[in-house]
Amino acid sequence: MAELVKFMIDGQEVEVEKGTTVLEAAKSVGIAIPTLCYLKGISQTSGCRVCLVEAGPKLLASCSLVAEPNMQIKTNTQKVRSARKTVVEFLLSNHKEECTLCSRTGNCELQSLSYDLKIDRMHYTGRRKEVALDDVSPSLVRDQEKCVLCGRCVAVCKNTQSVSAIGLINRGFETVVGSPFGRSLAESTCINCGQCIMVCPVGALQERESIDDVWDAIADPQKVVVVQTAPAVRVALGEEFGMPIGTRVTGKMVSALRMLGFDKVFDTDFGADLTIMEEGTELITRLTSGEQLPLMTSCCPGWVKFVEGQFPDLIPNLSSAKSPHEMEGAIIKSYFAKKMNVNPQDIVVVSIMPCVGKKYEQQREELSVEGMQDVDYVLTTRELARMIKQLGIDFVDLKEGEFDDPFGRGSGAGVIFGATGGVAEAALRTVYEILAGEELDTIEYTAVRGLDGIKENELELPNGQKIRTAVIHGLANARKVMDHIRKGEKNYDFIEVMACPGGCIAGGGQPIVPAKVRSKVDVRALRAKAIYAEDVDMPIRKSHKNPDIKRIYDEFLGEPNSHVAHELLHTHYKAKTQSSNE
């Protein structure tokens, strides 16, 4: 039994576990103290001063104030209200007044704060900061003039990702969030994961949009515009239309995509199955030879860039398999083009991804065949929602549609790629059966599921051989494991890494959940639950059992890791030299 602390909030007696903050304690008695810089589990710098409460003669930030016995806290005095109001007015006085043009309008924490605190007049106006937009990165755009310096992006980049591509620069009014030496994010250690976007309370960070390019392509009669959607998109897109977190909207999404004017709607699950075939075979080869172990997954572009920049010596351990949507793009522009008798140059492949890292990945020159990019545009889940809104489609009431052949069918193994542990589980489902030569009884490897940062598993094959697997999400965790491997303190055969905590379901391109909601529900758990429900409902749950996969190997690729497969489905990596904030 944990030690309890009893104290008073607004005349009510509150009893909470020792170590609880006043902010959390207040919540337990129905008082939602307004916050801005605070984000549960990510950041509590107490810099914004919105969550001030009266503690004795002083006003203190409740987000960092730990409850102590007999404290007398007042959250609702004139002094508190007027201080909070002034603080938000200050922030507004230095915030770009472009609410009607901002992608975060309606989902902006500053906007709701201003409304909630009844700010209807600006008492203090003056100079605003003027800083040029940083839109050089293929993934992210930073608008300092909207930034409220809450520090959440800095915290997530440093603590969750151990990347520290950004930090606070300059002092006082001139303070900005930026990369070392004032360079663009594109020239920093940024691995393009976009977790900073997910924590930004305002519109200071967003993806670099490609909506207009895609509209142009759709409007071009010359082009065959093909769209594919990643597994994680279907369990989050509904949130943009007011549906509960964790709602599965696969069929509605397909219908909407068709209404937007895409010529073909494919499922990236197919590419995921292909990845399992290629990567799984690679794993078997390495397990047999015992060389270049552990094999590390390569489907997360943020993780790949992290290895290239921070652990270049471990590049040989990365699987050479392209990521699923890149594989699918390459197949669309070869196999599919031939089958449909279309010039691959006229095919435009658009990937709907839960990710902004994919925008960076899309333009890597390694991911092209004969000067033609495998994928032409990457849109985030948010961008797709915006396009649907642009057309006035009533998404919630849409009928369920079906993906198109021949890449419309994926296995349950492909779907679970969207959650941390999914790739490992999918790979093990296939690799076990190939190596063991027998069908699995239970195919659900629960040991690699869930939200623990580092999950370890040993799978014993019938011949007694063991596959030692580690599943990691969040790059700070990955850094720990990589340091162990470098020092030879840990040995694994197979490692799955997803840069974003929770995996793709919580990727940098997903719907942004405001801090208020995040403090109440675990968004990642709800979305992951939906992903695993998709898996269960799939008729086929192992990649190598997918008949469309079998067909493409029969008709086109020959066998996994064949020469053709290597040409189209595999890639290589480059060590990167970068500066770092740390």
Partner 1 sequence: MATQQRQIVVSDGIDCHAKHADKNIVKMMRRALTKNNLADQIELVRAGCLSLCEFEPVVIVYPEGIVYSHVTASDVEAIVKEHLVAGTPVERLIAPENELRSERIPAIDNIPFFKDQVRIALRNCGMIDPENIDEYIAVQGYKALAKVLTTMTPDQVIDEMKKSGLRGRGGGGFPTGNKWEFAAKQDNTVKYMICNGDEGDPGAFMDRSVLESDPHSVLEAMTIGGYAIGSHQGFIYVRAEYPVAVERLQLAIEQARTYGLLGDNILGTGFAFDIDIRLGAGAFVCGEETALINSIEGKRGMPNPKPPFPAVSGLWGKPTVINNVETLASIPPIFLRGADWFSSIGTERSKGTKVFALGGNINHTGLVEVPMGTTLRQVIFDIGGGIPKGKKFKAVQTGGPSGGCITEEFLDTPIEYDTLIKLGSMMGSGGMIIMDEDTCMVDVARFYLDFTKDESCGKCSPCRIGTVRLLEILEKITMGKGTMDDLDALRNLGEQIKVASLCGLGQTAPNPVLSTLNYFYDEYVAHVVEKRCPAGVCKSLVHYEIDAQACKGCGVCAKNCPVEAITGEIKSAHLIDDDLCIRCGTCADVCNFDAVATH
> Is 504 tagged catalytic?
yes
Minimum distance between the CB of residue 491 and partner 1, rounded to whole angstroms? Answer: 32
Q: Using alpha carbons, select from 458, 465, 412, 409 the residue that is nearest to residue 434.
A: 465
Q: Which of 96, 146, 333, 358 is catalytic?
A: 358
Residue 36 CB, nearest approach to partner 1 (Å) = 9
Looking at residues 324 to 383 of the shown chain, list those that interact with partner 1 (rule: CB under 8 A).
none
Does position 126 interact with partner 1 (CB under 8 A)? The reply is yes
What is the rounded (10 degree) CA torsion for 433, 435, 438, 442? -40
Residue among 139, 164, 319, 323 flagged as catalytic: 319
Q: Is 370 marked active-site? A: no
Active-site position among 504, 534, 543, 545: 504
User: Taking a C-beta distance cutoff of 8 angstroms, is the pair 528, 502 a contact?
Assistant: yes
Nearer to partner 1, 154 or 478 (CB): 154
Select which of 278, 308, 361, 534 is catalytic. 361
Residue whose C-alpha is closest to residue 225's, from 377, 353, 354, 371:
377
**Tokens, residue 217:** 């392509």
Query: 151 or 511, CB closer to partner 1?
Result: 151
Active site residue 358: yes
Establish if 47 lies at the interface with partner 1 (CB under 8 A): yes
Residue numbers 90-119 binding partner 1 by CB under 8 A: 90-91, 93-94
Phi, psi dihedral angles at 378 (to 5 degrees) = -115, 125
319 catalytic, yes or no?
A: yes
Q: In what order do the strands lie in the sheet with 72-74?
A: 12-17, 4-9, 72-74, 52-55, 58-61
Would you count residue 148 as binding partner 1 (CB under 8 A)?
Answer: yes
The full length of the chain comes to 582
User: Least separation, in Å, of the C-beta of 300 and partner 1?
Assistant: 29
Closest approach of partner 1 to the CB of residue 126, in Å:
4
Per CB under 8 A, contacts with partner 1 among 454-513 are: none
Q: How many residues bind partner 1 (CB under 8 A)?
A: 37
CB 31, min distance to partner 1, A: 19
Helix 475-487 to helix 301-310 angle (10° resolution) is 40
Whether 339 is a known active-site residue: answer no
Give all strands (DSSP E) within 321-465, no chain letters: 347-353, 368-369, 372-373, 377-380, 454-460
Question: Among 149, 155, 163, 321, which residue interacts with partner 1 (rule: CB under 8 A)?
Answer: 149
Q: Which of 279, 308, 425, 496 is the catalytic position?
A: 279
Contact indicator for 505, 239 with CB cutoff of 8 Å: no
**In this chain, which of 27, 40, 64, 344 binds partner 1, going by CB under 8 A?**
64
Please report, as residue ranges, which positions from 166 to 195 form the binding site for partner 1 (by CB under 8 A): 167-168, 170-175
Q: Does 45 bind partner 1 (CB under 8 A)?
A: yes
Give, as ranges, the residues between 68 and 87 that touch partner 1 (CB under 8 A).
79, 82-83, 86-87
Locate tokens 């890791």: which residue?
561
Q: Which of 65, 102, 163, 193 binds partner 1 (CB under 8 A)?
A: 65
Nearer to partner 1, 55 or 416 (CB): 55
The one among 66, 340, 393, 434 contacting partner 1 by CB under 8 A: 66
Exposure b/e, 143-155, CB count within 10 A at least 16 = b: bbbbbbbbbbbbb
Please name the helix (run of DSSP H) or strand (run of DSSP E) that holds residue 527, with its range, or none: helix 523-537
Active-site annotation holds for 299? yes
103 noted as active-site residue: no
Alpha helix locations (H) across 410-460? Answer: 412-415, 422-436
Residues 330 and 364: their CA atoms lie apart, in Å, by 14
Q: Per CB under 8 A, which of residues 418..457 are in contact with partner 1? A: none
Nearer of residues 83 and 293 to partner 1, judged by Cβ: 83
Q: Which two tokens stand for residue 238?
A: 């509904």
Closest by CA to 48, choosing from 129, 102, 110, 106, is 110
Contact between 61 and partner 1 by CB under 8 A: the answer reads yes
Residue 358 phi, psi dihedral angles, 5° rounding: -65, -25
Determine the Cα–Cα distance for residues 348 and 239; give it in Å rounded to an integer: 28
Closest CB 46 distance from partner 1, rounded Å? 4
Compute the least distance from the CB of residue 310 to partner 1, in Å: 19
Q: Which residue has the tokens 């500053």?
A: 110
| 440 to 71, 155, 303, 499, 531: CA distances (angstroms) | 59, 43, 30, 30, 21
Is the CA virtual torsion 356, 357, 360, 366 positive or negative? negative
| Closer by beta carbon to partner 1, 60 or else 119 | 60
Based on the shown chain and the rule CB under 8 A, indicate whether residue 33 belongs to the binding site for partner 1: no
Active site residue 534: no
DSSP state of 72: E
- Reading the block at residue 3, the tokens are 């030690």
Nearer to partner 1, 11 or 126 (CB): 126
Measured in degrees and rounded to the nearest 5, phi and psi for residue 73 equal -105, 135
Q: Considering the candidates 97, 366, 460, 567, report the single residue annotated as catalytic.
A: 366
Shortest distance, position 290 Cβ to partner 1, whole Å:
42
Nearer to partner 1, 93 or 292 (CB): 93
- Smallest distance, Å, CB 419 to partner 1? 34
Task: Tell me the C-alpha distance between 326 and 308, whole Å.
Answer: 19
Answer yes or no: are the C-beta atoms of 564 and 315 closer than 8 Å.
no
Give the shortest CB-26-to-partner 1 separation in angstroms.
17
Catalytic residue among 282, 328, 383, 534: 282
Between 47 and 344, CB nearer to partner 1: 47
Regarding 59 and contact with partner 1 (CB under 8 A), the answer is yes
Strand 264-267 to 224-229 pairing? parallel
Give contact residues for partner 1 (rule: CB under 8 A): 45-49, 52, 58-61, 64-66, 79, 82-83, 86-87, 90-91, 93-94, 123-124, 126-127, 148-149, 151, 167-168, 170-175
Where in the sequence numbering do the catalytic residues fall?
A: 279, 282, 299, 319, 358, 361, 366, 504
